[in-house]
Structure 1
Amino acid sequence: MKTAPDGTLETGAPIVIDGNTLTLEDLHAVAVEGSGVALRDESLRLMAGSRELKVDLVAEGHAIYGVTTGFGDSVIRQIAPVKSAELQHNLIRYHMNGTGPSTPPDVVRATLLIRANCLAKGNSGVRPEVVARLVDQLNLGILPRLPQRGSLGASGDLVPLCHLAASLLAEGDVTYDGRLRPAGEVLAEVGLAPLTLEAKEGLALINGTSFSSAFAALACLGATRLARIAELSTAMASEALLGNRGHFAEFIHLAKPHPGQVTSAREVARLLTDSKLALDHSQVIELTGGLGGEEYAELKRSIQDRYSVRCAPHVVGVLRDTLDWARRWVEIEINSSNDNPLFDVAAREVHSGGNFYGGHVAQAMDSLKVAVANIADLLDRQLELVVDEKFNNGLTPNLIPRHAPTDWRAGLHHGFKGMQIACSSITAEALKTSTPASVFSRSSEAHNQDKVSMSAIAARDAFQVVSMAEEVAAIHLLALCQALDLRGTAQASSRTRAAHALIRERVPFVEDDRAMESDIHAVVELIRSGALISVTSPAAPAANGHGGE
Structure 2
Amino acid sequence: MIREPADLDPASTDEIVLAPELLDRLAAIRAAALDTLGSGRPVYGVNTGMGNLSKVRLTEAEQSRHQHNLLLARAVGGPPWLPPDEARAVLLARLRTFLTGDAAVSVPLIHQLVSLINSGYTPAIPMEGAGSAGEIIPLAHAAGALVGLGRLQPPPPQTSDPPRACPGAGLVAAAGVLPALELGPKEGIALLAGVPGATGRAALAVVRGRRVADQLTAVGAGAVAVVGASRDPYRAAAGRGDEVLAAELARIRELAGPEPEPRSLQAPVSFRVAGHVVAHVRRTIEQLDGAVERAFGGVTDSPAYLDGEFVSTAGFHGIELAAYCDHLAAALAHAAEVSAARLHRLLDPAVTGLPAQLARDPGPQAGLVAVHKRAVATTHQLRRLTLPTAISTAETSNGQEDVQAFAWEAAGNLMDAIRLTRTTIACELLAVRQAFALSTRDIPPGLQDLMRAVDAAVPPIDADRPFGDDLTSLLTEVLRLPD
Query: Structure 2 length normalisation: TM-score?
Result: 0.93
Q: Is the 8 A contact 2:284 2:331 kept in 1?
A: yes
Deviations 1:4-35 (A, max 9, x none): xxxxxxxxxx6x2632343xxx33332xxxx1
Q: Is the 8 A contact 2:392 2:403 kept in 1?
A: no
- Residue 34 (structure 2) pairs with residue 83 (structure 1): no
1:536 alignment partner in structure 2: none
Q: Alignment partner of 1:350: what SS?
A: strand
Q: Is the 8 A contact 1:470 1:524 kept in 2?
A: yes
Task: Give the direction of change, closer, same or farther, for the CA distance of 1:448–1:460 in structure 2 (3 Å limit).
Answer: same
2:165 alignment partner in structure 1: none
The structural deviation recorded for 1:381 is 0.6
Distance 2:180 2:56 in 1: 29
The structural deviation recorded for 1:357 is 1.4
Distance 2:295 2:132 in 1: 13
2:166 alignment partner in structure 1: none
2:10 alignment partner in structure 1: 27
Q: Alignment partner of 1:20: what SS?
A: helix
1:323 alignment partner in structure 2: 285
Q: Alignment partner of 1:38: what SS?
A: coil
Distance 2:96 2:28 in 1: 17
The structural deviation recorded for 1:215 is 2.2
Task: Give the direction of change, closer, same or farther, for the CA distance of 1:17–1:146 in structure 2 (3 Å limit).
Answer: farther
Q: Which has the larger radius of gyration?
A: 1
Distance 2:379 2:302 in 1: 40
Q: Is the 8 A contact 2:51 2:397 kept in 1?
A: yes
Q: Is the 8 A contact 2:103 2:301 kept in 1?
A: yes
Query: Structure 2 matches for 1:449-528, cutoff 5 A?
Result: 449-488=401-440, 491-525=442-476, 526-528=478-480
Q: Is the 8 A contact 2:132 2:396 kept in 1?
A: no
1:293 alignment partner in structure 2: none
Q: Is the 8 A contact 1:153 1:212 kept in 2?
A: no
Distance 1:18 1:153 in 2: 30
Q: Is the 8 A contact 1:176 1:186 kept in 2?
A: no
Distance 2:106 2:312 in 1: 19
Distance 1:320 1:232 in 2: 14
Q: 2:49 aligns with which of 70, 76, 98?
A: 70
Query: Structure 2 matches for 1:364-513, cutoff 5 A?
Result: 364-389=324-349, 391-401=350-360, 403=361, 411-488=363-440, 491-513=442-464
Deviates more, 1:447-456 or 1:317-326: 317-326
Q: Alignment partner of 1:37: what SS?
A: coil
Q: Is the 8 A contact 2:132 2:401 kept in 1?
A: no
- Residue 245 (structure 2) pairs with residue 261 (structure 1): yes
Deviations 1:359-398 (A, max 9, x none): 1110110111011111111100110100123x43311111
The structural deviation recorded for 1:186 is 2.6
Deviations 1:94-123 (A, max 9, x none): 101013411001001111111011101111
1:115 alignment partner in structure 2: 94
Q: Alignment partner of 1:147: what SS?
A: coil
Q: 1:138 aligns with which of 104, 117, 120?
A: 117
| Counterpart residue type for residue 388 of structure 1 | D
1:310 alignment partner in structure 2: 272
Q: 1:93 aligns with which of 72, 83, 87?
A: 72
1:128 alignment partner in structure 2: 107
2:164 alignment partner in structure 1: none
2:187 alignment partner in structure 1: 201
Q: Alignment partner of 1:504: what SS?
A: helix
Distance 1:440 1:528 in 2: 36
2:233 alignment partner in structure 1: 247
1:7 alignment partner in structure 2: none
Q: 2:147 aligns with which of 164, 169, 173?
A: 169
Distance 2:419 2:303 in 1: 36
Q: Alignment partner of 1:101: what SS?
A: coil
The structural deviation recorded for 1:443 is 1.8
Which consecutive unaligned segments of at least 5 residues does structure 2 have? 157-169
Task: Give the direction of change, closer, same or farther, for the CA distance of 1:20–1:82 in structure 2 (3 Å limit).
Answer: farther
1:406 alignment partner in structure 2: none
Distance 1:312 1:67 in 2: 54
Task: Give the direction of change, closer, same or farther, for the CA distance of 1:219–1:203 in structure 2 (3 Å limit).
Answer: same
Q: 2:28 aligns with which of 49, 66, 88?
A: 49
2:159 alignment partner in structure 1: none
Distance 2:290 2:272 in 1: 30
Q: Is the 8 A contact 1:259 1:321 kept in 2?
A: no
1:287 alignment partner in structure 2: none
Q: 1:160 aligns with which of 126, 138, 143?
A: 138
| Counterpart residue type for residue 176 of structure 2 | E
Q: Is the 8 A contact 2:86 2:201 kept in 1?
A: yes
Distance 1:462 1:142 in 2: 24
Q: Alignment partner of 1:446: what SS?
A: helix
Q: 2:207 aligns with which of 217, 221, 226?
A: 221
Q: Is the 8 A contact 2:225 2:257 kept in 1?
A: no
2:162 alignment partner in structure 1: none
Query: Structure 1 length normalisation: TM-score?
Result: 0.82
Q: How many residues are paired up?
A: 469
Give the % identical residues. 25
The structural deviation recorded for 1:316 is 1.2
1:351 alignment partner in structure 2: 311
Q: Alignment partner of 1:453: what SS?
A: coil
Q: Is the 8 A contact 2:322 2:407 kept in 1?
A: yes
| Counterpart residue type for residue 158 of structure 1 | I
The structural deviation recorded for 1:336 is 4.1
Q: Alignment partner of 2:127: what SS?
A: strand
The structural deviation recorded for 1:246 is 2.5
Deviations 1:458-507 (A, max 9, x none): 11001100100001001110110000111136x12111122111110111
Distance 2:303 2:62 in 1: 18
Q: Is the 8 A contact 2:239 2:249 kept in 1?
A: yes
Q: Is the 8 A contact 1:153 1:357 kept in 2?
A: no
Deviations 1:230-278 (A, max 9, x none): 1111211112222112220001111xx233222211110111234xxx5
The structural deviation recorded for 1:513 is 1.0
Q: Is the 8 A contact 1:47 1:123 kept in 2?
A: no
Q: Is the 8 A contact 1:153 1:358 kept in 2?
A: no
Question: RMSD between aligned alpha carbons?
Answer: 1.8
